[in-house]
Chain A
Amino acid sequence: MNNPFESSHVPQPEGNPFASAGALPQTEVLVFSGRGAEYFGIWIVNLVLTVLTLGIYSAWAKVRRMQYFYRHTTLAGAAFDYHGDPRAILKGRIIGFILLLAYNASFQFSLIAGLVVVTLLAIVMPALLMRSFRFRARNTSWRGLRFGFGGDSRGAYGVFLMWPALTLFSLYLLGPMWHQRLKRYQFDNARYGATAFSINAPVSAFYRVYGVAVAVFLLGGLAIGAFVWSLARGNPSAWIAGPFLFLALMLFIQPYLSARLQNLVWNSMRLGPHRFVSRVSARRLYAIMLTNLIGVVCTLGLFQPFAAIRLARYRLESVTMVCDGSLDDFVAGQSQDVAAIGEETADLFDVDIAL
């Protein structure tokens, strides 16, 4: 029939569309086909069923949300897919909820109880986060092959316990270094099928990105302070403008960090012989995030699904895969089942493990 692979029967080894490019590397863009109006339906049905079941449906809701985003993401003609088991996710959410409750309640009880719980969490969380990486990777597939994560607990305690502590003790001076170690742990241990990812982003690049953000923050803060102070001399009510300007400054810095870090990570990542190019513009991201925020606030949250789609489209479609050789050559790795507990706990404790 209309077979795109058979129709071009020129001298092509194995009917492979990518091999024909020869020495010239071929690029494949990520395409995102999700639509806000469509996702709104999924979102509202998820929300209503979650409310009606007192939160139990949220695990199934998450699977449908992930599937919507993954299946609408296409690379080289094939879609991604999410395979998380809702029952595993529900189990994880219950454990996460109990941990969150223990954390919030213990300090009400006594300082010692609080410290005991925090210590326990510090011991448990790295292992949970490691599992969450594994669960997320293991349940993502493309072209029928699963992704995987092989990070060990030694590394997890390094990036989730030792480095945060060092960052705190160094008054955040080691923060960018921690971030670099985290990304290295995340991607140097990741694989697609049997093919390993690797990342070689230097620490200095992270310091550069964070350095600019901190400089903008300090200069902007000073400018706001001076501006409000000069206004307030005539009219004390001008002090009110301070917090709003400060908020605007933070809204300005966050998209910058987000854009530059995504570019940094993806541009220094390799999958076997292939590499990636990410071209997120801080200015475009800022425009999208600002309009999203205005939309969400003005609609009391109803714009949220549209906002999520807009953001995902821009961030995903900014990524290109530069292929060196055929994408058909990947083969499956070993498989193993992974519990969802880690991922869901991480969700509840709001630890950002995206990109």
Chain B
Amino acid sequence: MSTSRSEPAPPVAALYFDGLSARAHAVTLTLDGATLHLNGADVSRSDALERVRLSEPMGQAARLISYADGAHAEVRDHAALARLLQDSGHRDHAFVRWAFDPRMVFAMFAGLLLAGWFAWQVGLPWAARMAAPRVPDEVVSAMSTQALGWLDNRVLTASTLSVQRRQTLRSAFDALAAGEGSAPRHSLQFRHGGRMRANAFALPDGTIIVTDELVDLAGDDDEVLAVLMHELGHVRARHGVRMLLQGSATALFMAWYLGDVSSLLATAPTALIQSGYSRSMESEADDFAARALVAQGRSPELLVSMLEKLARAHGESGDDGEGYLDWLSSHPDTGERIARLRAREFAVH
């Protein structure tokens, strides 16, 4: 304060416009305590500093000093204006300082990436888990029908298993599922896998599809049933709906980011088909299957043996599946799942 009084800041050159005409008045600005004086050849005014509005600094751009009556002054000598304002206690908004501070810009950028990663990894699965029970059944079954139709058109063909064989498996599965108490609505469908080969997957509405190749690969029906129980575990926990929600939310974000919302509705069924289950979902379904098998006096080894056979079948041809809700395309690798199942079996007995 004392320095400003002993040597006052030099006047600042500005252009003044009265808001009534476009005429430019060359003026100078000086500050006297809390009063801003403006002086030119045929204009002069004095206003309390708190009554005028000073625009935020934006690089080279002129800073505008706006008066309440619509007049304003444009200042382009930023250094001189800064000297003038030094002692007035004027301070720019925090976000204005941020935008021009490289460290702050970098922190903002890092924060944005972190927030995005967190939302995707934690927020989205949590939101999907909360919302899954509230999704109307009609929507779920419409999506599932569409997804199965898509697969039927491109990959799957009619099953070549005998009607009798299918009937046997179906009733054994129903009996096993019924033993689980509150079994969710489900139905079992057989298809010839084609490119999907030995495989089984569950659609969000409870439709479980098993391929002829998987049935052939299994040593006996008990192994097939073990796989089906794993799928029933997915249905029961509504994993499909959750993945559908997560996939749709991601697709919505991408559509917004890339600027094409119209394509969104078309992508929802494909998002369902292409999404794999998360690691925890696979473990949850494995646990469900193991518990169901043990409860029925069977061994979780059935599932272990099937996992090994599937891994071998898919591994030998050098193809790790195309990711259509594929058992084996999901994150936990087969060895890890087998180890987990065996450890669990140990605990149960």
List chain A positions with a Cβ less than 8 A from chain B.
Answer: 1-6, 15, 33-35, 38, 40-42, 44-45, 47-49, 51-52, 67-68, 71-72, 74, 77-79, 81, 104, 142-145, 193, 301, 327-332
Contact = CB atoms under 8 A, between A and B. Distances in A.
Contacts of B22: 142-145, 193, 327-331
A79 B21 contact: no
A144 B41 contact: no
B55 A71 contact: yes
B14 to A, nearest CB: 10
Interface stretch (B69-77, B82-90, B188-196, B338-346): B69-77
Given A44-B108, A48-B115, A51-B115, 13 more contacts: A1-B28, A4-B26, A41-B101, A44-B105, A47-B112, A71-B58, A71-B64, A72-B60, A78-B24, A142-B22, A329-B23, A332-B20, A332-B21
Given A45-B108, A330-B22, A143 B17 contact: yes
Nearest to A70: B61
Contacts of A47: 112
A301 B41 contact: no
A79 B55 CA distance: 12
Contact of A35 (B59, B62, B64, B99): B59
Contacts of B61: 33-34, 68, 71-72, 79
Interface in B31-72: 40-41, 55-56, 58-62, 64, 70-72
Chain B CB count within 10 A is highest, among A41, A48, A81, for: A41
A45 B58 contact: no
Contacts of B62: 71, 74, 78-79
A144 B28 contact: no
Given A1-B11, A71-B62, A328 B19 contact: no
B281 interface: no
Interface string B115-137: 10000000000000000000000
A77 B22 CA distance: 12
Q: Classify the secondary structure of A's interface with B.
A: mixed
B31 to A, nearest CB: 15
Contacts of A1: 11, 13, 28
12 contacts: A1-B28, A3-B26, A5-B24, A5-B25, A6-B41, A15-B41, A34-B59, A35-B59, A42-B99, A44-B112, A330-B21, A331-B21
B109 A44 contact: yes
B20 A33 contact: no
B221 interface: no
Given A45-B95, A144-B71, A78 B17 contact: yes
A266 to B, nearest CB: 20
Contacts of B115: 48, 51-52
Contacts of A142: 22
Nearest to A74: B62
B71 to A, nearest CB: 6
A144 B18 contact: yes
A47 B108 CA distance: 9
A145 B21 CA distance: 7
B100 interface: yes
Contacts of A42: 58, 99
Given A5-B26, A81-B64, A144-B72, A332 B19 contact: yes
Given A78-B15, A328-B22, A332-B20, A48 B60 contact: no
A265 B106 CA distance: 41
A42 to B, nearest CB: 5
Contacts of A68: 58, 61
B111 interface: yes
A48 B17 contact: no
B150 interface: no
Given A78-B15, A145-B19, A33 B24 contact: no
B111 A48 contact: yes
B74 A51 contact: no
A77 B58 contact: no
B100 A328 contact: no
Give the interface centre of A1, A49, A68, A72 by most chain B CB atoms within 10 Å: A1
Contact of B108 (A48, A301, A328): A48
Contacts of A143: 17, 22-24
Given A49-B95, A51-B115, A144-B72, A331 B64 contact: no
Nearest to A331: B21
B24 A6 contact: no
B60 A41 contact: no
- Which of A52, A142, A143, A331 has the largest number of chain B CB atoms within 10 A? A143
A301 B116 CA distance: 14
Contacts of B60: 33, 35, 72
A45 B92 CA distance: 15
Nearest to B27: A3
B248 to A, nearest CB: 13
Nearest to A60: B95
Contacts of A40: 105
Most buried by A among B17, B58, B62, B109: B58
A5 B24 CA distance: 9
A31 B55 CA distance: 20
A51 B41 CA distance: 50
B92 to A, nearest CB: 12
A136 to B, nearest CB: 19
B112 A51 contact: yes
Contacts of B59: 33-35, 38, 72
Contacts of A329: 21-23
Would you list the 9 A-B pairs with minimal beta carbon distance, nearest first? A144-B17, A330-B22, A41-B99, A71-B61, A328-B23, A3-B26, A143-B22, A33-B60, A38-B59
A252 B261 CA distance: 24
B111 A41 contact: no
A142 B13 CA distance: 19
Contact of A38 (B26, B58, B111, B112): B58
B112 to A, nearest CB: 5
A99 to B, nearest CB: 14
Interface string B251-275: 0000001000100000000000000
Q: Which of A74, A144, A331 has the most CB of B within 10 A?
A: A144
B55 A67 contact: yes
Nearest to B101: A41
Interface in B135-182: none
Contacts of B112: 44, 47-48, 51
